[in-house]
Amino acid sequence: MTGEPRTTPLGSLEAKIMRIAWDHGGEFLPVRRVLELLDGDLAYTTVMTVMNRLYEKGLLRRRRAGRAWSYRSALSRDAYAAATMADALDVAGDRRGALLHFVADLRTDEVEALRRLLGSGDDR
């Protein structure tokens, strides 16, 4: 891994690749397997390039598998979502206002879960 994970918005193909990586847990997947799991008519080199970029962004880990690389997610889907939310708060002029807007859009069960988490410190 070349650095800390960045939560810059993912492009369409990046998002599809990350969903595959997250759906396969900690399993290292060769580029060819990811290509098979993707919908569409993509070139091997396209998928390989995008996966290498995700590695450079710190979102994928890789290891050598013969002559090719295999990749797995560097962080969980939940950790990525949390980092994305933290980044969004960092760009908000009014963090409290941004949080209020966020909470206003939550479902009732999500609000209750948030209340439990804030009340107990951790209720996973």
Q: Would 6 be classed as within a structural domain?
A: no
**Domain check: are 85 and 44 in the same one?**
no
- Residue 1 inside a domain? The answer is no
Whether residue 8 has pLDDT greater than 80: no
Contact 55, 46 (CB under 8 A): no
Task: For the full predicted model, state whether its pTM sits above 0.75.
Answer: yes
CATH number for the domain harbouring residue 69: 1.10.10.10
Are residues 66 and 108 located together in one domain of the fold? no
Q: CA 52 to CA 58: how far, in whole Å?
A: 10
Identify the CA nearest to 91 among candidates 3, 11, 5, 7: 7
CB 5 within 8 A of CB 57: yes
Q: Which of 73, 92, 111 is the last residue of a domain?
A: 73
Structural domain that includes position 95:
77-120
Tokens of 43: 């070139």
* Alpha helix stretches (DSSP H) within 2-107: 12-23, 31-37, 44-56, 77-91, 95-104
In this predicted model, what pLDDT tens digit does every residue of 75-108 receive, in sequence order?
A: 999 999 998 888 888 888 889 999 999 899 999 9
